[in-house]
Structure 1
Amino acid sequence: MRKVVSRDGTTIAYEKAGEGPPIVLLNGSFRDHTIFDALVPELAPHCTTYVYDRRGRGQSGDAPEYAVEREIEDLEAVIQEAGGEAVVFAGSSGANLAIEAALAGAPITKLALHEPFFRTEDFPKPVWNFAKTLRVLLTEDRRDEAVEHFLGGFLGFTPDTIAEWRKGPIWAMNEANAHTLAYDTLICGDYTVPADRLATYETETLVLNSDSTSAWLKAAARATTAALPNGRGLELPGSWHRIDMDVLGRTLAEFATA
């Protein structure tokens, strides 16, 4: 992987592929750049794609103290590698991070978001001590329990669903990146759509959700779209928190190149 040094000296690893206008892909909780392995081939004929490992994951470095501002600087460093400005596509807690970066003035020409992690008033937020319990589990290196705590307490998974996830091939990655769940929890703030701040953001923004995702994620996508003066929402075919890859690729390519 290629490397770029963020403002605080942390090394960020990224990959570049394709030709055309630049688009930076920003992952969410648990994952590294490999989450986009199936999306990059869909985009590469139309765009120059940049995928990177967020700090603390994969081949990227980390720092002793975490701050959301440092992750914004990481994204800006990758955008500089892309020529100084770029379209950004981000999903899950990565969408929350992209929103914070956009509101902080990152050079984003267009913004595409997939199911940001907000809770509208119709859906309960994680319990008040969710973040504290997560930090305790991570401090004690109880990664397995931390993953379960996040899946159940944040995403609302049932014990049966968590048991099924345990059997899957990505559980090892979940545990390996468990320490970054504390980062994503901070990024999500109080889990509320920042409507007042989004009302000042004029850049064209596309907010996507799957037709088969959770009701709270659909509501979050709708509320985010409604808060944006230049926002457009699309519901696309897929499964829970996932859009069919060919549809997603085509939609993002059209958005990035229009």
Structure 2
Amino acid sequence: MPHVISKDGTRIGYSKTGSGPALVLVDGAFGHRAFGPNMDLPPLLADRFTVYTYDRRGRGESGDTQPFSVERETDDLEAVIAEAGGSACVYGVSSGVPLALDAANAGLAIPKLVVYEGPFVVDDSRKPIPEDLRAQMETLVKEDRRSQAIKLFMTKGVGLPGIFVTMMRLMPAWSKLKRVAHTAPYDVAALGDTGRGRPLPAGRWSDVKSPVLVVVGGKSPKWMKNAMGALAEVLPDARHRTLDGQMHVVKGKAIAPVITEFLTG
């Protein structure tokens, strides 16, 4: 399968489809080319864009050179954009949102971005993400207690009720989550201090010069709506949109027209 080489030598698997301007899709936690909400998007966007999907490090066909750092994930995205011709629009979902924004803030050639529901906690509308969540998860993964690590991430990180996560363990997708559970701490690291129940830091993405469309689902919880409103306020050039009828796992047929309209407008 096609791959690019990141700055630290890590092989990053990718796919491309369609024709037109380059568009790179950045997955959130657990997602990769063979799993997650972005799987449905390439055929829905391929008539207007050359769509690049890639496996974030540690997932699918990508390597996982240690030690991990958020900067290395930025380098991975930079390598995919270089493969796309040196410039590409980006769509980031969930914990892929801070990664996409960090890349733009670092000066990567990203003409426009669309971001959907970065899981920031900016007020008291939900419990903050524990400061030691990443360390707790890394310990569980090292002990090969992957199911416990996923449950911790889903309850303390995502904010799902424990009973709901217990039911998830009975579903076929749980085994796919376990295979990439070691990468969930990477997503916690990407969030940094943006999940602590405090306002977003005004300077973290102050160098993002590209226009950004910030999207939230109309059926998503209050804390997520508040977070996306706050994100639109701190970005230098942002528009905010609510996508009626959608929740955090957004349907491809709902978000694809929004992506196309913004990126081609």
- Within-5 A mapping of 1:163-178: 163-178=166-181
Task: State the SS of the aligned residue for 1:25.
Answer: strand
Point out where structure 2 has 5 or more consecutive residues left out of the alignment.
none
Query: Do the aligned partners of 2:41 and 2:252 also contact (CA within 8 Å) in 1?
Result: yes
Aligned twin of 1:214: 221
Aligned twin of 1:75: 77
Aligned twin of 2:124: 122
Deviation at 1:84, TM superposition (A): 0.4
Identity of aligned residues (%): 38
Question: In structure 2, what residue type is equivalent to 1:172?
Answer: S
Task: State the SS of the aligned residue for 1:17.
Answer: strand
- Within-5 A mapping of 1:1-258: 1-34=1-34, 35=36, 36-123=38-125, 124-191=127-194, 193-258=200-265
Deviation at 1:139, TM superposition (A): 1.5
Task: State the SS of the aligned residue for 1:108.
Answer: coil
Deviation at 1:173, TM superposition (A): 1.4
Q: TM-score, normalised on structure 2?
A: 0.93
Deviation at 1:229, TM superposition (A): 2.3
Query: Which stretch shifts more, 195-204 or 96-105?
Result: 195-204
For 1:200 and 1:107, the matched residues in 2 are separated by 13
Query: Do the aligned partners of 2:205 and 2:235 also contact (CA within 8 Å) in 1?
Result: yes
Deviation at 1:199, TM superposition (A): 3.6
For 1:148 and 1:86, the matched residues in 2 are separated by 35
Deviations 1:92-122, CA, capped at 9 Å, x for gaps? 1110111111111111110111111211123
For 1:256 and 1:190, the matched residues in 2 are separated by 29
- Stretches of 4+ moved more than 6 A in 1? none
Task: State the SS of the aligned residue for 2:15.
Answer: strand
Deviation at 1:134, TM superposition (A): 1.3
For 1:64 and 1:130, the matched residues in 2 are separated by 20
Give the CA RMSD over aligned residues. Answer: 1.4
Query: Do the aligned partners of 2:24 and 2:91 also contact (CA within 8 Å) in 1?
Result: yes
Question: How many residues get paired?
Answer: 258
Deviation at 1:59, TM superposition (A): 0.4
For 2:171 and 2:100, the matched residues in 1 are separated by 28
Query: Which stretch shifts more, 198-207 or 66-75?
Result: 198-207
For 2:222 and 2:172, the matched residues in 1 are separated by 26
Q: TM-score, normalised on structure 1?
A: 0.95
Point out where structure 1 has 5 or more consecutive residues left out of the alignment.
none
Query: Do the aligned partners of 1:31 and 1:173 also contact (CA within 8 Å) in 2?
Result: no
Deviation at 1:47, TM superposition (A): 0.7
Query: Which stretch shifts more, 159-168 or 178-187?
Result: 159-168
Query: Do the aligned partners of 1:237 and 1:243 also contact (CA within 8 Å) in 2?
Result: no
Question: In structure 1, what residue type is equivalent to 2:31?
Answer: R
For 2:208 and 2:226, the matched residues in 1 are separated by 20
Deviations 1:18-64, CA, capped at 9 Å, x for gaps? 01111000000011123322111110011110000000000011102
Query: Which stretch shifts more, 142-151 or 163-172?
Result: 163-172
